[in-house]
């Protein structure tokens, strides 16, 4: 029984995906340009319980992990500590920003979202990006 448990733990470690976060917005823009990706910027606060819930539930979901890793360079910033451009006007957290590699906002929303709703928002980001391209808002 002990060996079975140990084997299950090892398998779960090997198969679990991780997110590669940065807290350096400017450096992440450069990485996004090189990798031809957009940025997902998650802004939280150390005192926000909804932020912790989002991190410990939604961001642990395998489907969410896969979607984020495939399409985005990830930035996780604390609004009280990290430097972000002034247009990130964060009053409530968690705040989610989707940004082009040129620093143009595609889409943003606030709050805790479960994995199903968050994956739906990820689909909305793609639609909003295409809409803004057609309208000439994003180039």
Residues of the chain with pLDDT > 90, as a percent, come to: 77
68 by DSSP, 3-state: which? Answer: helix
Give the CATH fold of the 18-135 domain: Glutaredoxin (3.40.30)
The answer to whether residue 135 scores a pLDDT higher than 60 is yes
The answer to whether residue 14 scores a pLDDT higher than 90 is no
User: Using 50, 70 and 90 to split pLDDT, how confident is the model at 12?
Assistant: very low
Answer yes or no: are the C-beta atoms of 76 and 25 closer than 8 Å. Answer: no
Q: Indicate the domain borders of the chain.
A: 18-135
Q: Average pLDDT in the 24-42 region?
A: 96
Mind listing the pLDDT tens digit for each residue in 52-81? 999 999 999 999 999 999 999 999 999 999
Return the pLDDT at 18. 72
Phi, psi for 76 (deg, rounded to 5): -120, 115
| Rounded CA separation 83/77 (Å) | 8
Mind listing the pLDDT tens digit for each residue in 34-46? 999 999 999 999 9
The answer to whether residue 23 scores a pLDDT higher than 70 is yes
User: Using 50, 70 and 90 to split pLDDT, how confident is the model at 92?
Assistant: very high
Closest alpha carbon to 55 in 96, 99, 103, 26? 96
Q: Distance of CA 36 to CAs 39, 73, 132, Å? A: 10, 9, 18
């Amino acid at each position: 029984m002990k060996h079975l448990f140990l084997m299950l733990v090892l398998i779960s470690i090997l198969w679990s995906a991780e997110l590669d976060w940065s807290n350096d917005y400017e450096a992440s823009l450069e990485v996004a340009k090189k990798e031809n990706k957009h940025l997902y910027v998650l802004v939280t606060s150390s005192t926000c319980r909804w932020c912790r819930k989002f991190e410990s539930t939604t961001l642990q979901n395998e489907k969410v992990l896969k979607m984020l890793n495939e399409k985005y360079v990830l930035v996780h910033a604390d609004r009280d500590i990290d430097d972000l451009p002034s247009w990130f006007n964060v009053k409530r957290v968690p705040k989610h920003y989707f940004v082009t590699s040129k620093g143009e906002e595609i889409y943003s929303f606030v709050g805790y979202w479960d994995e199903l709703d968050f994956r739906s928002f990820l689909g909305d980001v793609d639609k909003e990006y295409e809409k803004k391209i057609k309208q000439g808002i994003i180039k």
